[in-house]
Structure 1
Amino acid sequence: MPTEKRIAIIAHDGKKAEMVAFVKDHSALFQNTKLVATGTTGQYVEQTGLKVKRLLSGPKGGDAQIASLVAEGKILAVLFFRDPLGKHPHEPDVQMLMRLCDLHNVPLATNPSAARLMVKGLEAEVANNKVTK
């Protein structure tokens, strides 16, 4: 039976344009799945015409909210384009999210190359009706 899970989308400020380009390149998948994003990233993704459930901005608790959804089994996969060279005041929340993805076996892609590979698998899941819109 299909499960109603969302794909989570997060991007640090310096990676938001890259995330928007990625989402546009793979719009067929994202049009057929439910999306959740941190606040500002969600605003950017909505500009592509996709419907996104926006949570708080990452530094204001959005990463922690997505981590909670991961722990509750409500997230299919996480696309998190991180800036590995930047300093982020909410780094503990980022680490918690990554740990919970590992703990709950939720795929996590932190760069476009990993995300492209993940999308191929997700497209197969959607095609086999294992994921609902």
Structure 2
Amino acid sequence: MKKKKNIGIVAHDNRKKDIMEWVAFNWKELRQHDLICTGTTGKLVEDALKEKCEEHGEVPPTVTRLKSGPLGGDQQLGAMICEGKVDILIFFWDPMQPQPHDVDVKALLRITVLYNIPTASNRSTADFMVTSELFHEEYEPILKDYRSYITRDVDME
């Protein structure tokens, strides 16, 4: 992980207000990194950062917008994690609302664990993450070696 991180930001509909407040509060930390967002969240994040940065004469960060979560954005983000293109995930998900793409959400969270990606699912964890001294430093996560799983014998009977 380089100093300049690729940060995934996702928020379910009922958590978009929360993510916008968090982004506006942490704009100074986020502007130093590249952001990757799903659908509508990406537009909201882009607008909020642009406003804050212009207010203070700063350049807003790059925001890459993927598809909306239910239209494949969660899967796109998961694929980027597998390819080593995402370093951190901030995902404000709604535990009280069933999601039509719940299996995609579960798969995305599984991939973050599999690839040892720091993941915040609420504001407190996200606050701790962006205030960590590691947030702006190089960091080499320890990845589990899955070679024995990949090269295992498979019984084809």
Question: What's the counterpart of residue 42 of structure 2?
Answer: 42
* Residue aligned with 2:87, SS: strand
Question: What's the counterpart of residue 80 of structure 1?
Answer: 91
Unaligned runs of 5+ in 1: none
What RMSD, in angstroms, separates the aligned Cα atoms of the two structures?
1.7
Question: What's the counterpart of residue 93 of structure 1?
Answer: 104
Matching of residue 60 in structure 1 with residue 85 in structure 2: no
Q: What amino acid does structure 1 have at the position aligned with 2:92? A: F
* Residue aligned with 2:91, SS: strand
* Residue aligned with 2:131, SS: helix
Structure label with greater radius of gyration? 2
How many pairs does the alignment contain? 128
Does the CA contact (< 8 Å) of 1:6 and 1:36 recur in 2?
yes
Q: What amino acid does structure 2 have at the position aligned with 1:118? A: M
Does the CA contact (< 8 Å) of 2:7 and 2:35 recur in 1?
yes
TM value normalised by structure 1 = 0.89
Q: What amino acid does structure 1 have at the position aligned with 2:16? A: K
Q: Percent identity?
A: 39
* Residue aligned with 1:47, SS: helix
Looking at structure 2, the residues matched to 2 and 106 of structure 1 have their Cα atoms a distance apart, in angstroms, of 14
Question: What's the counterpart of residue 26 of structure 2?
Answer: 26
TM value normalised by structure 2 = 0.76
* Deviation, structure 1 residue 29: 1.3
Task: Give the counterpart of 2:125 among 107, 110, 114.
Answer: 114
* Residue aligned with 1:74, SS: coil
When residues 115 and 3 of structure 1 are mapped into structure 2, their CA distance, relative to the original with a 3 A threshold, is closer
Question: What's the counterpart of residue 10 of structure 1?
Answer: 10
* Residue aligned with 2:126, SS: helix
* Residue aligned with 1:44, SS: helix
Question: What's the counterpart of residue 57 of structure 2?
Answer: none
Structure with higher helix content: 1
